[in-house]
Chain A
Amino acid sequence: GDSVTQMEGPVTLSEEAFLTINCTYTATGYPSLFWYVQYPGEGLQLLLKATKADDKGSNKGFEATYRKETTSFHLEKGSVQVSDSAVYFCALCLNTGGFKTIFGAGTRLFVKA
């Protein structure tokens, strides 16, 4: 079935370190791909998205490229800040008659000053 697999956390980094959170997916058809972020005590909010192969989504210094050949959508940031501490969710959205968004398990990121 359709699914999203992302690296387990927590991930702990020092400020200004490089971040990669891996995400791979399995889907029938051609999904759109998303990264959502959940800050403590809040709901999820969209971080970035890509709707077709080779698209690069970017926002707030974060980037991810839709790689159809490897079915991946890894999240990267060159220099993390303490304020980036949150849970990051990779997700895909499919139209299967109805729209369904499937989320990965989430990766908690802690950034130390």
Chain B
Amino acid sequence: KAGVTQTPRYLIKTRGQQVTLSCSPISGHRSVSWYQQTPGQGLQFLFEYFSETQRNKGNFPGRFSGRQFSNSRSEMNVSTLELGDSALYLCASSLRTPNTEAFFGQGTRLTVV
């Protein structure tokens, strides 16, 4: 069965621009979560979507937003990019119970210059 697919794998953007990242979950998984991974801050939770609704949100500014479509695919958007937004953005899908594992994509490496 296909895994979690994130596109694009690499992005270079300029400060002030906006960016949209995409995540296709494993078939049948309706929960999609997003994380930011940086060397200094580790892996930080951004938000979780289930059935097209944001169910949980981490402590990130409003520049970070997301959405989920009816086929469970999710997008994450970052507006007015800052240098500090450079990171690996990971998406994970799951069956949405606390006992089941999250399956991660390989991530999108965003570099802001």
Please list the residues of chain A having a beta carbon within 8 angstroms of any beta carbon in chain B.
Answer: 31-32, 34, 36, 41-46, 49, 51, 89, 93-106
Contact = CB atoms under 8 A, between A and B. Distances in A.
B90 interface: yes
Contacts of B94: 99
Nearest to A44: B104
Interface stretch (B10-18, B42-50, B62-70, B79-87): B42-50
B101 to A, nearest CB: 4
A105 B44 CA distance: 9
A95 B31 CA distance: 13
B104 A99 contact: no
A32 B99 contact: yes
Interface of B: 4, 31, 33, 35, 42-45, 48, 50, 54-58, 90, 92, 94, 96-99, 101-107
B55 A97 contact: yes
A99 B42 contact: no
Nearest to A47: B101
Nearest to B33: A101
Interface centre among B43, B48, B57, B58 (most CB of A within 10 A): B43
Contact of A43 (B42, B98, B104): B104
19 contacts: A34-B101, A44-B90, A44-B92, A45-B104, A46-B101, A46-B102, A49-B99, A51-B98, A93-B99, A97-B55, A98-B48, A99-B48, A99-B50, A99-B55, A101-B102, A102-B45, A105-B43, A106-B42, A106-B43
Given A97-B55, A99-B55, A100-B48, A31 B42 contact: no
A36 to B, nearest CB: 8
Given A34-B101, A101-B45, 20 more contacts: A42-B106, A44-B92, A44-B102, A46-B101, A49-B99, A93-B102, A94-B98, A95-B98, A98-B48, A98-B56, A98-B57, A99-B33, A99-B94, A100-B45, A103-B42, A103-B44, A104-B42, A105-B43, A106-B42, A106-B43
Contacts of B44: 103
B98 A31 contact: yes
B105 A43 contact: yes
